[in-house]
Chain A
């Protein structure tokens, strides 16, 4: 019982330290607050289930990414492949109105384009935005670094084209 409580405390500490990382995964794979909340909870449960087996062979963040992405792409029963609108409340606050509008537009543009990528491409984009090395991406995804570089170039090209063609209906 005492051991379980100790494990729970340790787990809570780790998750609190990395909750932003989980949140970012939720934001890439789910688009409304309700979906993000569901995914966040599902990821935390899966992390808790896997926690006893975590021996520290890899970095905690690598382990966490693995569980979270595996859960996001295979662990959800109700998957929404295309979401029509974003929750504006989830966009950044505490910035000037003009800058905020500009940032909102850029974010909308980015999310709209990323939304149209496949599940694996979404993960690669996220790692890229997070400045992860190809070595770490390989460790998490199980895709060779050469293949990842090719994919990254293709994704950049794809996003370039997508952002050219998207009509946001803003304004």
Chain B
């Protein structure tokens, strides 16, 4: 019974930490990319199409690290294999 409480609390705390720390880096990165792209568009408005397209693709790349953290957090909360194991053992 003690295992269930331990695994549950550790999973939830880790999920929170994962998404909290994992979103800081991509947020800084995206803000920097956006600021650079805006100043580039201000300097060369003719190239706005190319810059915007590259910005979108680059931002998707940066954002994917945050998405990985989100997926890991979701796995920890909703599909935790250790939790399932302990619950099945306690139930059986």
The yes or no verdict on A and B being binding partners is no
Which residues of A line the B interface, CB within 8 A? none
Please give the residue numbers on chain B whose beta carbons come within 8 Å of chain A beta carbons, in ascending order.
none
